[in-house]
Amino acid sequence: MLWIVNVNLNLILIGGKIPMKKETYPIIGVECASCVRKIETLLINADGIKNASVNLASEKITLEYDESKISIEEISKIIKKIGYELVT
């Protein structure tokens, strides 16, 4: 019984199925589609971020990220560097 549990655990690790944190935050300064593209492109290419989606109408961002690789504080700093502010 125990080895079955281990096999399953290993498969999960090999498969890279690390639980991603998915969270939505308000974001300040997003004014047009170009802002949206700029933020999303930057974040999606950052290590540890699986997905970033900005909603222009609601001025919110939905982030899917691996907390063991990147923290929300680090993501906030990246966003701030290009002139926007994440509200956490």
Classify residue 20 by its DSSP letter: P
Partners of residue 42 on adjacent β-strands: none
Nearer to Cu ion, 11 or 82 (CB): 82
Least Å distance, CB 33 to Cu ion, is: 7
Nearer to Cu ion, 49 or 54 (CB): 54
Would the CA dihedral through 81, 47, 23, 35 be positive or negative?
A: positive
Residues that bind Cu ion (CB under 5 A): 31-32, 34-35
3-state secondary structure of 66: coil
Nearer to Cu ion, 35 or 72 (CB): 35
Least Å distance, CB 37 to Cu ion, is: 9
Q: What is the end-to-end Cα distance of the chain in Å, rounded? A: 44
Least Å distance, CB 36 to Cu ion, is: 8
